Amino acid sequence: MAIGLDAIKNHLLAALPPEELQRWLLHLELVDLPLGQALYESGSKMSHVYFPTTAIISLLYVMEDGSSAEIAIVGNEGIVGISLFMGGESTPSRAVVQSAGQGYRLKAQVMKDEFNHAPVLHLMLRYTQALITQMAQTAVCNRHHSLDQQLCRWLLLSLDRLPGNELLMTQELIANMLGVRREGVTQSALKLQEAGLINYSRGHIKVLDRAGLEKRTCECYAVVKREYDRLLPPTSGG
């Protein structure tokens, strides 16, 4: 009973028909997802898919020289490992826990078998379309908008995937996610703090004025949020 209630914290799992969810609960495994853990590496074969409940996972594209940049984030709204049911066993990106928490994992073969059920197939494909929109918009945003706007977009997307208004995140980690220098993140964070939008101290970010962040960010955040809202069922938690 407890596992079923907790699994509902992931919006995709909660959107499954009750009979589908009950079958999945036999295979879902609750796991801790500590900060910095790599769920899969570029080019590696995936053994599981993950449904975060309280963690946030960053999808990173890795360059030949080892540098990386974030292309999307996944939290309680989704699933990590879409390549598995899109026909591939691996992906050129890597998945790393950017905000520690928990989630459920499902063995790769079970996911493949379940994907043949029509309700699951349609739901997962809608989520995939929303995730692709986030990736594309992230690329556009990183090319055309200021670091201040990118940081606001990143904070808002992260907040949408957490139950409260606080994040545990170092400036160095944010810089790695955005593919910029740490000094740039420091300056942008200070501007947001001076404007009364956030409070930042020792890796602890508290959003004080969400509406202010939404006014300060570029249109990319709204584009991504509208697509998730359009394609995926509403959740009881809002």
What's the pLDDT at 6? 55
pTM: 0.76
User: Of 71, 78, 126, 130, which is closest to residue 103 (Cα–Cα)?
Assistant: 78
Question: Mean pLDDT of successive 10-residue segments in the chain (238 residues)?
Answer: 62 90 92 95 88 94 76 94 77 88 94 83 88 89 90 94 88 85 91 95 91 94 91 69
Please tell me the predicted confidence (pLDDT) of residue 1.
41
DSSP sequence for 77-119: TS-B-GGGTTT-S--SEEEEEEE-EEEEEEEHHHHHHHTTSHH
Q: What is the CATH number of domain 2-117?
A: 2.60.120.10
Domain with CATH 1.10.10.10 in the chain: 142-228
Q: Is 36 left (phi over 0), alpha (psi -120 to 50) or beta?
A: left
Listed residue (21, 137, 155, 135) closest to 83, CA to CA = 135
Q: What is the pLDDT of residue 195?
A: 96
Query: 87 with 238: CB under 8 angstroms?
Result: no
d(CA 70, CA 177): 5
Residue 29: predicted pLDDT: 94
User: Mapping DSSP to helix (H, G, I), strand (E, B) and coil, where does residue 41 land?
Assistant: coil
In the Cβ-directed half-sphere of 79, how many Cα atoms lie within 13 Å? 28
Cβ–Cβ under 8 Å, residues 180 and 147: yes
Q: What CATH number does domain 142-228 carry, 1.10.238.10, 1.10.10.10, 3.60.15.10, 3.40.50.300?
A: 1.10.10.10
Burial class (CB in 10 A: 0-12, 13-18, 19+), 49: buried
pLDDT recorded at residue 68: 77
Cα–Cα distance for residue pair 163/75, rounded to 1 Å: 11
Range(s) within the chain of domains with CATH label 2.60.120.10: 2-117
